[in-house]
Structures are given as C-alpha cells and as structure tokens.
Amino acid sequence: MTQAIPMTLAEKLVARAAGRESVRPGEVVTAKVDLAMMHDSGGPRRVAPMLERLQARLWDPDRVVVISDHYVPAVDAESAGILDLTRKWVKAAGVTNFHDMQGICHVVLPERGHLRPGLFVVGGDSHSPTGGAFGTYMFGVGATEMCGVLVTGEIWLRVPETILLHWTGRLAPGVVAKDMILAMCAKLGMDGGRYQAIQYAGDTVAGLAMQERMTLSNMAAELGAQTGLIAPDTVTRDYLLAAGVPAGEIELAAWQGDAAAAAERHDFDAATLSPMVAAPHSPANSAAVGEHGNVSVDQAYIGACTGAKINDLRMAAGVLKGRRVASGTRLLIAPASARTTAEAAADGTLAVLTEAGAILLSSGCGACAGYGAGVLAENETCIASTARNFKGRMGAGSSKVYLGSPYTVAASAVAGRIADPREFLA
C-alpha cells in the first residue's frame, strides 16, 4: 500500500471530479460536472442562442437544473418575456428539474435535494459557493462558460489552494453566521480568497445549523474565493435526509479533508464577536454595530439567498415580537423560497413579522440586485440582510446600503436607525 498524499477537502473533491487519485494546487485539470444549475437571467435567455449556433444538445438534461428567480414575478413585458422563454426552453431541451418561481436558486437547490457531499457542481450565478456548505464543490460561472458545460459536461480549473478559516468558541446571543462572515470580510478583504477554495472549520462552525452554514459559504463570493466549503457531518446529513436525499447517497467519511494540507489559515474567536455592520459600499467596510454612529434608515430589507432563509426569518421575528416598525421606516421581507414562506406560516413566524408592520414580498432575488420590487430612491439609506452593498446595486446610484444580520436589520427597523439587536433580545 502506498501512503495516501494528504489532501484538503477541496483537493479531494476536485481529484474525484477530474478522475484522479490525487491533485496538487496549481495544476490545471479538466473536471466532469455532476450538475449544472442556472437561473432565468444568465440561463436559457443567454445559452439558447449559443446552443443554436453550435447546433448542440445538452450533454445530459437530467444533470441540468433551471430555477427562475431573478425576474419573478414578471413586472413588465421584458421580464415576462424572459420567464416565458425560460419555460419554453426547459420544455424543448427536455430539462425536468425546473423550479419556476419557487424561490432563490441557492436555497431551492439544496431544499429540493439536488446537492450532496462529494458532488462537483457549477452554477450560473456568483453566489454558487453556497453549495459548499454541503461538502459539494460548487462555484459560479458566466453564461458562455455554462454553455461549454452544457455541451461537453466538463470544465477546466486550476486546482485551488485551501484557505482555512477556523473559528473557536461560542457565539453570544444575537450574534450569528452573518456577523462571522462580515468580520471575515473586514479582516481578509474582498480579494482575500484569491479565487482559491475557502474552508470554514472549527467548533463554532460545527455548532451552526445548516442554514447558518449556508450564509458563510454564500459569502465566500464576497471574499473572492472560488468556493466556500464546510466538511459534511450529521447536521448536513439530517438536512439532506429531510430534503429527501436517500441515506445511501450521503457519504460523510470520504469527504473530510486534512486541515494540515491547507496553504493558509486564519483563526477567529467567536466569543468576543459583536453584531457586525458593513458600511457602504463594500462588505469589507464592516465594523461592530456600535461603531457606525447614528444612521437613520429609510428601508430595512430582509431578503436574498444570504439572509431570508427560515432561520433568518425566525431571527427577525425574535426581535419584532410585540414591537412595531418605526414610523418613517419601511421593513420589506422577501422569504428566500416558497417552502420558507410555508414553514414561516406554519410556525407562526410570518404572523409575528406582519403584525410588526413588515411588508411581505414575493420570493426572488428582487431588490438585492436591483432587479425587482423594493429598490431605493436617490439618497435613500437601507440596511439589508443581503450579501452585497456595492454602489447603486439596490437602486439609485446615490443610495446607501448597510449590511447586517437579520437580527440587526430587524432591530434597526424598530429603532428607525442602525441598532444593536442585543438591546432587543435581553
């Protein structure tokens, strides 16, 4: 028996997809894609003309998932046309994994049982690293690159180094995964991930619920990483079983990496972390909530793939129960998926939110990227549970977006200014 070369989780996942025993960071390999996910914006409307030009078919329609989430529901002839084209293309191409207006792709994909540890998946969206929370090697690509995958079932990549982001200690009440990732953005910067693979680890990460882990992996995009992995464990397995993945398809032991093989490591202390808020116009402009001074907010927004999962809505409800949104401030909530809304309705969360004066919006990418309902006017200020606060992203060019956890956004909605949620949770 030869001694196995120590490999990180990322290296093991890439090696499997490349059909290799082992890989080394820096090598260029061709990987076989297990699943390709695309949405209505970067999907059919862009790839259909390319496939036509190539006169090519999908390499495997059963390995393609299409999710309409950007232009939903249609608000004008253009968006209606994009959704119509998506539906017609899916049918003609023989794609049966189609989730139309069921929620945001990064939340719907695991929710409907499409992910599991060990897979190699590409998504036509930059927040595709979200899949990394399940021990899936998942990353975002543009539409032309997606077309290449759809035709060949393959993609090239440079085997990434692994950057280990290691958290120990217990988070204080009111401090959550969103605060952890904003702290990491502040420390490492928007290119700290160097388009390599991030792996989140340590007892803090192991103690997080699946949806909280998804928040960390989701914002690996904001760290500039290719993917954001978390080694799968029983928390992963329990989520996947509930999503209908057969037990025999959930392997945990094979997808644990050797942490010592990581190229870079950063250590963080969870116990001393405060709720974090990112000032305009970058998630890297994050500091403890108390350091932002007196900032009044016109709009508070709980939405997007990052910050409107069921756990996020429950956090907001924890603050809003028995309280009202401040006069002069509007709180908009767009649950991340149809199932999220159903769960929130079933457990009473939804009633708490609406009784506090929250305005409920449909599930989709919506205001986060300036696509849908809830965009900002010139000079307005918003605090959002989303991932990005780039200039003009949520609407008018002069609008300002702060980022925080659902706790912090809800607390700010009640206060009418950026507020520390711990004052409301005591």
Partner 1 sequence: MSSAANNAGRVWKFGDNIDTDVLAPGLYMKSPLAELARHCLESVEPRFAKEVKPGDIVVGGRNFGMGSSREQAVMALRELGVAAVVAPSFAGIFYRNALNLGLLALVCPEAAQIRTDAVLAVDATAATLRDLETGKIYVCETLPAHLLQMIADGGLLPHLEKKLNAQRSKEAQA
At its nearest, how many Å lie between partner 1 and the CB of residue 176? 24
Residue 169 within binding range of partner 1, rule CB under 8 A: no
Measured distance CA(360)–CA(330) in Å, rounded: 11
In the set 114, 116, 314, 388, which binds partner 1 (CB under 8 A)?
388
The reply to whether 393 sits near partner 1 by the rule CB under 8 A is: yes
Which amino acid, 101?
Answer: M
Dihedral sign, Cα of residue 162, residue 164, residue 165, residue 170: positive
Q: Which of 258, 288, 390, 416 binds partner 1 (CB under 8 A)?
A: 390
Least distance (Å) from partner 1 to the CB of residue 78? 4
Q: Is 224 in the site for partner 1 (CB under 8 A)?
A: yes
Q: Give 364 or 421: the residue with its C-beta nearer to partner 1.
A: 364
| H-assigned helices in 112-226 | 143-152, 177-188, 203-206, 210-218
Please give the backbone phi and psi of residue 174, each rounded to the nearest 5 degrees, phi first.
85, 0
CB of 126 to partner 1, least distance (A): 4
Instruction: Give the shortest CB-101-to-partner 1 separation in angstroms.
Output: 17
Stretch that binds partner 1, among 233-241, 313-321, 369-377, 408-416 (CB under 8 A): 369-377
53 near partner 1 (CB under 8 A): yes
Cβ proximity of 363 and 331 under 8 Å? no
Q: Kindly state whether residue 54 participates in binding partner 1, applying the rule CB under 8 A.
A: yes
Minimum distance of partner 1 from residue 149's CB (angstroms): 10
**Choice between 38 and 352, CB closer to partner 1:** 38
Count Cβ neighbours within 10 Å for each residue of 348-384 and write b for 16 or more, e otherwise.
ebbebbeebbbeebebbbbbbbbbbebbbeeebbbbb
In the list 20, 60, 73, 195, the residue contacting partner 1 (rule: CB under 8 A) is 195
**Residue 91 class from Cβ within 10 Å (0-12 exposed, 13-18 middle, 19+ buried)?**
exposed
Could you give the string, one character per residue 120-159, with x where binding to partner 1 holds by CB under 8 A and - elsewhere? ----xxx-x-----------xxxxxx-xx--xx---x---
Q: Between 201 and 221, whose beta carbon lies closer to partner 1?
A: 221
Q: Is 301 in the site for partner 1 (CB under 8 A)?
A: no
Total interface residues for partner 1 by CB under 8 A: 46
Is 290 a binding residue for partner 1 by CB under 8 A? The answer is no
Among residues 42, 103, 110, 307, the one that binds partner 1 under rule CB under 8 A: 42
- Beta carbons of 221 and 127 less than 8 angstroms apart: yes
> Per rule CB under 8 A, is residue 82 in the interface with partner 1?
yes
Task: Give the interface segment with partner 1, choosing from 220-228, 249-257, 326-334, 351-359 (CB under 8 A).
Answer: 220-228
- Interface with partner 1 includes 374 (CB under 8 A)? no
Q: Report whether 138 contacts 50 (CB < 8 A).
A: no
Q: Partners of 140 in the beta sheet?
A: 123
Q: CB 240: neighbour CB atoms within 10 A? A: 23
Alpha carbon distance 391, 283 (integer Å): 11
Cα separation, 120 vs 36, whole angstroms = 9
Rounded to whole angstroms, the Cα distance separating 116 from 121 reads: 10
Q: Name which position in 29, 50, 209, 287 contacts partner 1 (CB under 8 A).
A: 50
- Nearest residue to 277 (alpha-carbon basis) of 264, 287, 290: 287
Task: Select from 339, 302, 316, 324 the least CA-distant residue to 407.
Answer: 316
List of residues contacting partner 1 (CB under 8 A): 28, 41-42, 46, 50, 53-56, 71, 78-79, 82, 124-126, 128, 140-145, 147-148, 151-152, 156, 190-191, 195, 221, 224, 226, 282, 369-371, 375, 388, 390-393, 395, 397
